[in-house]
Amino acid sequence: MRKLLFIIPVILLSCTQNKKEQKAEEAKAVQTGKDPHSFSNPEEAVVNHLDLDLKVDFAKQQITGIATWTIQHPKNADEIVFDTQDLTIDKVTLDEDSTGVFFALGDKDPVLGQALSIPITNQTQKVKIYYSTAKSAAALQWLNPQQTAGKQQPFLFTQSQAILARSWIPTQDSPGIRFTYTANVEVPNNLLALMSAENPQKKSADGKYKFVQPHPIPSYLMALAVGDIAFKAIDQRTGVYAEPGMLSKVAYEFADMGKMVNAAEKMYGDYRWGRYDVLVLPPSFPFGGMENPLLTFATPTVIAGDRSLVSLVAHELAHSWSGNLVTNATWNDFWLNEGFTVYFERRIIEALYGADEAKMQEVLGYQSLMEGIKEMGDKNPDTRLKVDFTGRNPDDNVSDIAYEKGYFFLKTIEQAVGRQKFDAFLKDYFARHAFKTIDNDTFLNELNQLLIKGDEKLKKQIDSYAWVYQPGLPKEFKAPSSSVFKNIDSLTQQFLATKNAGGLSKKITSTNEKLYFIHKLPDNVGQDAMKLVDAEFNFTASKNAEVQCAWYVLAVKNKYEKAYPAIKEFLTEVGRRKFLMPIYKELAKTAEGKKSAKEIYKNARANYHSVSYSSIDDLLK
Ligand code: BES
Ligand code: ZN
């Protein structure tokens, strides 16, 4: 249906550019409707509801489950195809008949897993799959008590995005396929279970929990966490979950959650999911945050003690609109999830903490984007917003391009059409596409028809074509600047000229400022300068993970050995890929660095989730 509404072809070409060349490039970039990262056949048979029964066995590190799928038949189909990865399928039954039917598992693909094909008829309404997970299930991380804050109980969490849901649920694992769900989950009776659904706030006596997700969601938003977890309310509809020893720190850090939801609603329409809670996980969680509906999963590395990293909550909350409500059609449209979310995140930050704060975060994002583009190369096709990850793992597409280039494209539109018009557009966009998918062409069509409306000047000013289909940044793009940071530019220059760091820590005080300052120091600043800065700021011993990561990368670049024990500790404790990768990458650049990286990794790997160790295996092999 959505496609039918926009049959008018995309006309993005500016008169000055070679039209034929552009068309060819566009055609190459544009995918057909099929999701290249799923074996499923939704045009023929597609799921719309799941009833899940799970037993969580910590001793065996195994989930056994029954997934009962309710299905629909858009066409006459003689089979339905699911995605699986490393699942053992014991039995499949159809509708009310309990006799097992034939099923076939396809060849193993190292990225996509295996297709599970089940013959059905047009009358088939339910498909019941009995299965169990492997020890190696990519979505799951089983933590022993030592790897938790409390050290007493084991912990389990899932990470399904992008295509790992299939390693713990047989599912049509495409972001374009949505379903509602219920779940019965059985865990050891001293542990709490939580899902991306309406959640309990207390442990049950028997370890049995029931969940309901009444809104249709794609399978990358399926989530489960099990552990010694407690709840604390922030306000009526928001709250935090964490291990008991962490709970009050977490509640302090995220005290503004309720205000964030209010601010978000005021800009872009009602929060549609009921409650909004955050679960803070043990430090091995591979991401900063994951926008599981109703319950964001978050890394403890944002609990800085001074609320300086709470933009993460703004970000994951924003996904409740951009991503969870309006979802990228395939992982090649990933920037539509993340770019919109970073834009929305900074608008929440501006609403709560003011324009200066949002601007600083924007400039830090720009710094990071420029470093990212430099590393990838500004002709690299993966620096386009519309990417083609067919045949590759979409998890490898997590870079500043989708996030920050996406953000700056939207910011460019905002500046060209004016904030008022852009806000009205966005609010309608979220309403129009709620619980549906969005792809690149649909968004660009709507931009043309609803905002640009044939205005040649606007069209040129925005230059969607360059942003979306060309690598690097458009030539006309002007770097953002923050008045607060301007002062740090001159302080940095002064320091580099005089080699005197005395008093700097009285002038460079906030986390944003420190991050900006560290990034402004030249790569080859030298050990003497590192020593002076460290004596003044004590960055090596910082407890702020963002500061630590930035400083440790610079320390490796400059062979500043005083930081090495702290680096080793950081790499062993923390499993967040965004921090691990740049440090390991920098270490791997020299022979001796690579040797120590491998030594650290030998011990640390067991603490990492598969998302992180897969990336680092590749890097250090
Ligand atoms: N949805 C992402 C995490 C993700 C992306 C998981 C791609 C798997 C594949 C999440 O919303 C995110 O962007 N997290 C960031 C947070 C940051 C931008 C505030 C992270 O983990 O660093
Ligand atoms: Zn995100």
CB-ligand 1 contact for 160 (6 Å cutoff): no
Q: Which strand (E) or helix (H) includes residue 248?
A: helix 247-253
Average pLDDT, the chain: 95
Give me the percent of the chain exceeding a pLDDT of 70: 95
Q: What is the pTM of this model?
A: 0.95
The 10s digit of each residue's pLDDT in 501-530 is 999 999 999 999 999 999 999 999 999 999
CB-ligand 1 contact for 161 (6 Å cutoff): yes
The 10s digit of each residue's pLDDT in 35-87 is 999 999 999 999 999 999 999 999 999 999 999 999 999 998 999 999 999 99
Mean of pLDDT values over 78-106: 98
Residue whose C-alpha is closest to residue 212's, from 51, 46, 434, 321: 51
The 10s digit of each residue's pLDDT in 304-345 is 999 999 999 999 999 999 999 999 999 999 999 999 999 999
Catalytic residue among 26, 291, 316, 362: 316
The 10s digit of each residue's pLDDT in 179-206 is 999 999 999 999 999 999 999 999 999 9
Return d(Cα 276, Cα 237) in angstroms, integer: 6
On the question of pLDDT at 9 being above 70, the answer is no
Return d(Cα 615, Cα 621) in angstroms, integer: 10
Which residues, listed in sequence order, are joined to residue 57 by a DSSP beta bridge?
62
Q: Which strand (E) or helix (H) includes residue 202?
A: none
Q: Which atom of ligand 1 is nearest to the CA of 220?
A: 8
The 10s digit of each residue's pLDDT in 135-186 is 999 999 999 999 999 999 999 999 999 999 999 999 999 999 999 999 999 9
Question: Of all protein residues, whose CA lies closest to atom 1 belonging to ligand 1?
Answer: 290
Structure tokens at 229: 């977890």
Q: Which strand (E) or helix (H) includes residue 97?
A: none
Q: Which strand (E) or helix (H) includes residue 363?
A: helix 355-376
Return d(Cα 482, Cα 510) in angstroms, integer: 14
CB-ligand 1 contact for 162 (6 Å cutoff): yes
Q: Are 49 and 70 in contact (CB under 8 A)?
A: yes
Is 316 noted as a catalytic residue in this protein?
yes
Q: What is the pLDDT at residue 33?
A: 60
The 10s digit of each residue's pLDDT in 205-223 is 999 999 999 999 999 999 9
Taking the centre of ligand 1 as the mean of its atom positions, its distance from the CA of residue 287, in whole angstroms, is 6
Band the pLDDT of 268: cuts 50, 70, 90. very high
Q: Are 348 and 266 in contact (CB under 8 A)?
A: no
Question: Of all protein residues, whose CA lies closest to atom 15 belonging to ligand 1?
Answer: 288
Question: Of all protein residues, whose CA lies closest to atom 6 belonging to ligand 1?
Answer: 161
- Give Cα separations from 101 to 94, 440, 498 (angstroms): 7, 40, 78
Residues 6+ apart with CB under 8 A from 599: none
Q: Give 460-502 as a 3 state SS string.
A: HHHCHHHHHHCCCCCCCCCCCCCHHHHHHHHHHHHHHHHCCCC
Which ligand is closest in space to the CA of residue 292?
Answer: 1
Taking the centre of ligand 2 as the mean of its atom positions, its distance from the CA of residue 403, in whole angstroms, is 8
Q: What is the pLDDT at residue 578?
A: 98
